Structure 1
């Protein structure tokens, strides 16, 4: 990922470049083109915009594909968690609602992100959320770009159905966002293990550890519903999840799946809270400054504690019972290879479930470690955090080759106000 200057429109942009060896691969190139087309259609303040796509030759004559994107003045959520470990309740719920509404824009357009995780959620200094990296997104009605049976996603946040090689849906994104919610509220991930495959299997067959007791019952119930193993028992899309979060912020219990509006347009007015902006006209493109500053969260707004506990068997207990019946099938289906990276950054997990036969099947996961390079031009001193994205066989890397970019003219709109004001916002820094 590079920071570059658009000489035609005199603006700073982010340029995602595909390495030359992958630019020669038709399958990788097809997926890269698809990223440009799908993300460019998702014109919404909560989604990092795509301005241009191109293919050229470098100095050695090698093919080079690149994507010109909005340069977001924000910090990845995983970097925020690295400093704070656990977000304050009001800040966490605000982030979850904004992210859900942004995902709903994609879900309405038939696009499933498939890799929702903290590294793909950016927080601006004013507290606005922007989702980035739809690199492995696939429109529901489009022809598959990936190989049959290939699992794409990140192990720590992957939905059970994705881990089993089934088709990812909008409910899969909701599950992944629920895992993010668990992490920011509890201060730890719901599942840990020695490797990516171990963690992915826990998403399929185990219930998460109980959340901290200092969280309101309604908040714990919200995450339990969102992380149910059966996708039909979850909130169906980002809008339905966002409406449930809004209900909890208003001091109510989260509605049962199917009872929330799910339109992605629900508004909850609270004292001291400014509602998120509505989607702008399709022709507008939001621009952000280039300097990176830390997110300190909203200044006002906390979730009221709900007093009613859910009756009967909890959602987590039901989820465990649902998953238990599939353990025998799981032992036969899960296998393939695992791509595992180290550090706190999210571990990528492609693996291929083997074909079921009448003979006993033995699976041996293989672990491959691949390093990815993050490069930043000398025109800025700001730190850029980039997470690798899972591909069919090799994580899609970034390059160290700068590229001159061009972009189609677009209209510019004023940055919308977030759900809250940030009294800690620093004065804008000068352009590098």
Structure 2
């Protein structure tokens, strides 16, 4: 039994118990040789007593010690010692991180904001990128292994431990707690874990951090693990931005080829979402297109909802290639008459033409179409002849000026005609000033045009001031005013609605 003040390998003095887990205990200790504070993970006796586990764990610790990244808790030392009370004892000396596990943060806050959640996911993805580039797979990404400092920096712990545990017969007893809640489908069915498996687990962490709950729950670890294999995650809350929900959907894809293949690719997708864009399609999705059937055979019937054979929902519909859509979705897109959509490399949507061509028209169909078009044109011409003069005031003025030329010598007839044709008295000056200056120009123009005919225009000018038709025609310029205002209003509204101008990650 370890207690405060106990010495490990005559070098590390235990000072405070930090946490107790399925694999052992984590202590804050003092390195008496270097006089620095460290974290010491002391493994349980059942792990320390297994030679196979010790060898595997030793190798993984040496590999993980080569990873140098600010987001990875450094490994300083590994050793095996004998404790009279506990027997063989294996220990791992790590960097002491001043912070708390993410699961403790979620227990206290319930969930993270969108900005905090995306920041945490991107940092974790960058740290996994370094490990994946070195060929190291974490295999147990979960909130308990993600430490958050008071400044918001993220550090991943326990690299290599899960892989060593997996090689030990002790794992059959279920000593590793919490793994089933975040396990990737391929791991649950006994396949080897890859970098894409870490990405899936990180996607589950993101789901929990942003939604405030885990996507799957059940009575036991096996039940939860099988839900990861067969069931589609429930929709995330509506207050989570659409591109963030889409990011998590892609990351939690059942088929490893249809999700982000490494921590770096996932981190790049998170960065795009934080900038207000849609998440880019996984690089492996393009390579998986021609073999869409293999994707459906890998998993049981449940996950087919998110595979190319689905019902048009989920990430595969957005990121499937035309060939994959033809194989998996059959004739559904072409029957609906609408092209499928596919994400391009810039995060936009590209229309994919529907499969199959249309049959050519028959002669009867062409004749009927021509007759229908002729009937529509004839009806439009009749309507224009009947009502065109009332709806278009501008074309009426040129014919009025041409027909009024012989009317000036008939003053009696001009009065009734002026009630119907307003512009005749000032035909020459009304053309350049048809909109707003017509009322003030009517009074000076009769006096300057001809003194003999001044009384006639003045008599005709009086009805022009009281004429209803002129007031109705002056309404057309005022009716046209809202259009420039509307067109100007469309610009700001377009910029506001553009997803790229408002980073949805900060909502």
Query: For this structure pair, what is the TM-score category when the shorter chain's length is used for normalisation?
Result: 0.5 to 0.7
Matched, 1:51 2:38: no
Deviates further, 122-131 or 12-21: 12-21
Determine which of 85, 90, 95 is the counterpart of 2:110.
Answer: 85
Q: How does 1:6-405 map to 2 (within 5 A)?
A: 6-59=31-84, 62-138=87-163, 145-146=167-168, 154-258=179-283, 312-315=312-315
What is the aligned residue count? Answer: 267
Rounded Cα–Cα distance in structure 2 between residues aligned with 1:208 and 1:73 = 34
Q: Distance in 2 between matches of 1:126 and 1:43?
A: 20
Distance in 2 (alpha carbons) for counterparts of 1:125 and 1:36: 27
Instruction: Structure 1: state its 5+ residue gaps.
Output: 261-310, 320-324, 326-432
Contact kept in structure 2, 1:3 and 1:12, CA below 8 Å: yes
In 2, are the aligned partners of 1:208 and 1:316 still within 8 Å (CA)? no
Q: Which runs of 4+ in 1 moved over 4 A?
A: 149-153, 316-319
Checking the alignment, whether the CA contact within 8 Å between 2:143 and 2:205 is kept in structure 1 is: yes
Cα distance, 1:318–1:192 mapped onto 2, change above 3 Å: farther
How far did residue 231 of structure 1 move? 0.4
**Cα offset, 1:27, TM superposition:** 1.8
Structure 2: gaps of 5 or more residues: 1-25, 286-310, 320-327, 329-507
Q: Scaled by the length of structure 2, what TM-score is found?
A: 0.49
Map of 2:303 onto structure 1: none
User: Considering only CA atoms, is the larger Rg found in Structure 1 or Structure 2?
Assistant: 2
Q: Is the 8 A contact 2:137 2:160 kept in 1?
A: no
Post-superposition Cα deviations, 1:65-85, rounded to whole Å, max 9, x if no partner, equal 211111110110000000111
Query: TM-score when scaled to structure 1?
Result: 0.58
Q: CA RMSD in A?
A: 2.9
Where relative contact order (Cα < 8 A, 6+ residues apart) is larger, the structure is 1
In 2: Cα distance, 1:85 partner to 1:190 partner: 15
When you count helix as a share of all residues, which structure comes out higher?
2
* Pair 1:77–1:24, CA change in 2 (3 A): same
Distance 2:63 2:96 in 1: 18
- Which secondary structure state, in structure 1, belongs to the residue aligned with residue 73 of structure 2? coil
For residue 80 of structure 2, give the secondary structure of its aligned residue in structure 1: strand
Q: Is the 8 A contact 2:73 2:97 kept in 1?
A: yes
